[in-house]
Amino acid sequence: MSDSESEAGPSRSPSRSPDPSVDGSQSGANDSSVITTSRTFASLGVIPQLCESCAALGFKAPTEIQVESIPHALEGRDVIGLAQTGSGKTAAFSLPILQSLWEKPQPFFALILAPTRELAYQISQQVTALGSAIGVRAATIVGGMDMMSQSIALSKRPHIIVATPGRLMDHLENTKGFSLRGLKYLVMDEADRLLDMDFGPIIDKILKVIPKERNTYLFSATMTTKVAKLQRASLSKPVRVEVASKYSTVSTLLQHYLLLPLKHKDAHLLYLTNELSSSSMIIFTRTVHDAQRLSLILRRLGFPAIPLHGQMSQSMRLASLNKFKSGGRSVLVATDVASRGLDIPLVDLVINYDMPTNSKDYVHRVGRTARAGRAGKSITLVTQYDVEILQRIEAAIGKKMVSFDVDKEAVAVLSDTVAQANREAAIEMREQGTGGSGGKRGRDKGKRGRGWENDDQDRDDDVVQAGLPKKKKGNKFKSGPGKVKR
């Protein structure tokens, strides 16, 4: 689709005739969110070209959030969509935008804001795949990547920009000739997380430099007070679509807890990793330090582990994610950078090394497994200091977790091995300085002295989520084996 088509080509009106070939189940969505009736994308008003793209991607039946939101969006209404992880939100906001773009093509047509770089890349890939039949061009603008190459991508005038707020603001302030004065659609995905991460001031700046006459879609897991405030400021007579009133987990997920003394936490983790080594697993930690430390310990003890956290350079983060997705590594040790929105197929097990601080984060973490109707398992390590948090999470999700049995003698045998590996990992992290992950220096490559004051906002991030102070210059990780103070 070229820019000239908007002048030369006739206006395309949506096809409302149902397409009986587009039905079945949608890949990548939880089984509870898939509509089992005869509703199809075509019956929602989606044009044939996009219906074909949905079928090619395996999106055969619309999910509940798509059934409820797409017709309103196609009518030109602003939409607030409240839905759980894995419910098909990306297609819910992408299809109406692509259909409107098909009717009136123009560059810089839509802006999609995401809280994390990984989620931005995932959204961009899905938008490009859904729009492949109509020739959509999308650009991904996130921190941690070379600003000049992004400026070149913007100079090619893409139809859709998927961005993290901080880096987008950098380009709006510093990239010559780039503006969003003609923007028609604004999407804020995972809006509750966007605002939790203190992106508010930057989002306010962005709202001031884009047209007020636009369509706005706000998608969030819950209607927090910050999201409600943002709704009043940026949406015009929106329709609210809510397909889940509280946090819940799917029925195919087996949820366990493991009660243990804090000092034996590492030994229990090694025991679980060894006993369940045939499973593809994600181990969630609260801090960058523990993510890096545990990945080193597990590798030293023969497990194919790889870290993922906000202080790795962006290229290394993408490499870690791709290795895990492709099966090159079966253990991903990650902070909550990996908990939101990422569709990683065939994750058998989620281990919460650290208790998440609230039920929202718990649901997002365990939502990485048991996706698309598959079975999955989660095990949460609970120390003597975490019992109250466990009870709050159980009350919020409306389920009691089952105790996971371990061989205490086998765990005790592993204690000396873990202690030695921990000492070696601490030495390696001291020698590497930045944990071998690039750290700030890796993030800052290619800055070339141009407007990077907002880049630190795109750290996605572990410092904000863990409630930790900003790190001082120098080593990114503590030099000893002790844990970051909680």
- Find the mean pLDDT for residues 107-118: 95
pLDDT at 78 over 90: yes
Identify the pLDDT of residue 341.
Answer: 66
Q: Which of 107-121, 197-211, 428-442 shows the highest mean pLDDT?
A: 107-121
pLDDT at 211 over 90: yes
What pTM, to 2 d.p., does this model score?
0.72
140-154: per-residue pLDDT in tens?
A: 999 999 999 999 999
166-205: per-residue pLDDT in tens?
A: 999 999 999 999 999 999 999 999 888 887 777 889 999 9
- Find the mean pLDDT for residues 45-61: 93
Closest CA to 294 of 319, 327, 318, 267: 267
Answer whether 318's CB lies under 8 Å from 288's CB: no
Identify the pLDDT of residue 38.
Answer: 66
Q: Which residue has the higher pLDDT, 279 or 469?
A: 279
If you average pLDDT over every residue of the chain, what do you get?
82
| Local confidence band at 461 (pLDDT 50, 70, 90 cut-offs) | very low
Identify the pLDDT of residue 441.
Answer: 38
Residue 77 CA to residue 72 CA, distance in Å, equals: 6
In order, the DSSP letters of 265-319 are: HHHHHHHHHHHTTTS-EEEE-SSHHHHHHHHHHHHHTT--EEEE-TTB-HHHHHH
Identify the pLDDT of residue 373.
Answer: 66
Closest CA to 310 of 191, 468, 161: 468
Identify the pLDDT of residue 13.
Answer: 37
Answer whether 66's CB lies under 8 Å from 50's CB: no
For residue 53, give Cα distances in angstroms to 139, 144, 178, 353: 20, 31, 30, 39
pLDDT at 18 over 50: no
pLDDT at 437 over 50: no
**Domains detected in the chain:** 11-242 (3.40.50.300), 253-432 (3.40.50.300)
Q: What percent of the chain has pLDDT over 90?
A: 60
- Find the mean pLDDT for residues 151-167: 97
Identify the pLDDT of residue 17.
Answer: 36
Answer whether 477's CB lies under 8 Å from 435's CB: yes
Residue 459 CA to residue 115 CA, distance in Å, equals: 9
pLDDT at 82 over 50: yes
pLDDT at 271 over 80: yes
Signed CA dihedral, 349, 355, 359, 365: sign only? negative
- Find the mean pLDDT for residues 56-72: 92
| Local confidence band at 346 (pLDDT 50, 70, 90 cut-offs) | confident
Neighbours of 303 (CB within 10 A): 18
- Find the mean pLDDT for residues 8-33: 37
Question: Which of 53-67, 154-168, 290-304 has the weakest average pLDDT?
Answer: 53-67
Question: Which of 73-82, 155-164, 304-313, 440-449 has the weakest average pLDDT?
Answer: 440-449
Neighbours of 211 (CB within 10 A): 11
